[in-house]
Structure 1
Amino acid sequence: MHVIDAVVAASCAVIVLGACSLRGSDRNRERARSGCLISAALLVIAVLNLLVELADRAGDPAAVALHSATLVMPLVLVGLGLMGIRGVTAEAGAATPLRVVAIGAHPDDLELAAGGTLARWASEGAHVHGLVMSHGSRGGDAERRIHEAVAGAHAMGLVDIDVLDHPDTCLAEHANEMVLAIEDTLRRIEPDIIITHSHHDAHQDHAAVHDAVMRAARRATSILCFESPSVTSEFSPTAFVDISAHLPAKIAAVHRHRDQSGKPYMGADRLRGMAAFRGSQGRVEFAEGFEQMRMLVGDHRAPSIVRSEHRAETLEIRTASTRLEPVDGRQP
């Protein structure tokens, strides 16, 4: 009888452990830990039942003690199960951090176009992840630019950044590969907001990344497009993020990219001027502007991050209906 109990317990442990090993999103990690604890308890029960069976057959007095342990272990198992349920319930009741994925074509694109926004959201508790499509080898030293991308991400407070190696200046020729990479990132992170390049951009790589994001994120609820130095006159931001308190972090992140320091749009004065221009439109001191492909404002995580003109008391991205012309259309 103890052998049968042991087989059943071991089988259940294998099933639970197998379910825990399946790759899932970050949201499921706590559930996986609870499942692994239950698996361990089931395996202990299986071992104890086998020991009881062997002790019984040998007439060992220890069989009584082992049998008592097998009676106690189900209670331990129930306790672990209740702990797991409690953890999942607490996780559901707690505020889930906003998850953001920022996608750029080259190292420095995220810092230049949305460095203040990303720094602000990260400082407010959002989990911000970066994805860059190329090393930027045609515009500088590839190895150096990878390290600078990591340094810039650190300056903005990003959780992590992935720098891929698709060919610089030829990203449109690798659209399918980019879509697959973006889909994999979105599946892993499950972001609430995606920000990326605008379609209204003179740089062919920026436009190619925008198109790839729109394909990969076809089911995403919120997508914002940022303002690179190479946007065209058709770029028309309808949302503004107040970065007044985070402009220094943006400038610091941009200055991590020393390989590109000779470019005119990398200077602090240019960055401050653009932020002041967009800030005047958003009715704040400094801001970054975005085109809204679509934006879900009813999410319970949004109030501490986003403000809408129609719900200014609870949200934080400000919307405007005026058309703005960029002050700089240079291509990086």
Structure 2
Amino acid sequence: MLPSVVGALLSAIVLAYVLPDANYKRHKRFIVGARGLRRAIVIVYSVLLALNLWCATIMPVTLVCDAIAVSTLVATGVFGFAIAERRIPAATVVQRRRVLAVGAHPDDLELACGATLAKLVDTGHEVRGLVMSSGEVGGNAGLRPVEAQRGASFLGLSGLRVHDFPDTKLETVTNDLVRAIEAAIKEFQPDVIFTHSAHDQHQDHYAVHQATLRAARAHHSILCFESPSVTRDFDPSVFVDIDGYVDVKVEAVLSHRDQAGKPYMTPGRVRGMAAFRGAQAKNTNAEAFEPVRLLGSAIGDL
């Protein structure tokens, strides 16, 4: 009976760790398909929990129950080893940087530079996000900010502020955008600022680009990221190696369930763009940026 009780407790502990979203996000730093990993663990340990409870309750004195308890221990070791083997290596940085990412809509940061932000967090830098609208025209205004917070939490951002400036009409409140971005810069004092490109056909993205440049007119390092709506004039010359972080970006994008079904939100599109920019950078996977200006000493070992 005792082995079955131990097996049931172990199964319950694993399930309690994996099932809640807040705990599940700890898997972000592993090179695995996050949804596939979670699904496999939930199925295996649900079955093991039921079998161990059956053995502990009915108390049959059989080798079968002992085998089930041993299988629980073995499964825990196998999953633990598999996860450890797939852990994303994180370098130790010489100097910790502060990075501010400014986007127009709740899913913009994940789509454009989610892998880069996650990598920066894992290597010891502090990253904050600033979103200028709740995306009410393109989706559920009550749900999208919540999904933005979920995505930011998954990527590891230390903070995310979602404003409620009018979606699709950000150009009508330019001065308000500038003041909001100026306040964020003054409070956070970032070393590097990420924002939309000037070569973007979405009017909100362009408005945020202009507002960021005005707000950061005295800042030395601004990089423009690639949204799905950039034009053919988008011409990146800065690339970030995101090997190991493509699945992380996919999962962050998928956290925006309100936007599910849009072609640019699919895992295939995200992976394809990462591979395309990786080929340009003579690497496997990359995210691309246009520098407005970039001070070498500020970006350091990013």
TM-score by length of 1: 0.62
In structure 2, the residue matched to 1:219 is: 218
Is 1:126 equivalent to 2:116 in the alignment? no
**Structure 2 spans left out of the alignment, 5+ residues:** 1-92
Q: How many residues align?
A: 210
In structure 2, the residue matched to 1:249 is: 248
TM-score by length of 2: 0.68
Q: Show the 5 A alignment for 1:31-110.
A: 96-110=95-109
Determine what percentage of the aligned residue pairs are the same residue.
Answer: 53
Alpha-carbon deviations, 1:135-154, whole Å to 9, x = none? 00000001100100000101
Q: Which amino acid is the alignment partner of residue 162 of structure 2?
A: V
Q: Which amino acid is the alignment partner of residue 126 of structure 1?
A: H
Is 1:179 equivalent to 2:178 in the alignment? yes
Q: Which amino acid is the alignment partner of residue 281 of structure 2?
A: G
In structure 1, the residue matched to 2:110 is: 111
Q: Provide the rounded CA distance (Å) in 2 between the counterparts of 1:243 and 1:156.
A: 13
Q: Provide the rounded CA distance (Å) in 2 between the counterparts of 1:164 and 1:236.
A: 29
Q: Show the 5 A alignment for 1:133-282.
A: 133-282=132-281
1:96 Cα deviation after fit: 4.9
Larger Rg: 1
In structure 2, the residue matched to 1:53 is: none
In structure 1, the residue matched to 2:300 is: 302
Q: Which amino acid is the alignment partner of residue 191 of structure 2?
A: D
1:180 Cα deviation after fit: 0.3
Q: Provide the rounded CA distance (Å) in 1 between the counterparts of 2:208 and 2:273.
A: 23
Runs of 4+ in 1 over 4 A off after TM superposition: none
1:298 Cα deviation after fit: 2.1
> Per chain length, whose mean CA-contact separation is higher, i.e. which structure has more relative contact order (CA < 8 Å, sep 6+)?
2
What SS class does the counterpart of residue 296 from structure 2 fall into?
Answer: coil
Q: Provide the rounded CA distance (Å) in 1 between the counterparts of 2:227 and 2:254.
A: 16
Q: Which amino acid is the alignment partner of residue 166 of structure 1?
A: F
1:134 Cα deviation after fit: 0.2
Q: Provide the rounded CA distance (Å) in 2 between the counterparts of 1:121 and 1:253.
A: 15
Q: Provide the rounded CA distance (Å) in 1 between the counterparts of 2:253 and 2:154.
A: 9
What SS class does the counterpart of residue 127 from structure 2 fall into?
Answer: strand
1:228 Cα deviation after fit: 0.3
What SS class does the counterpart of residue 241 from structure 1 fall into?
Answer: strand
Q: Provide the rounded CA distance (Å) in 2 between the counterparts of 1:132 and 1:227.
A: 16
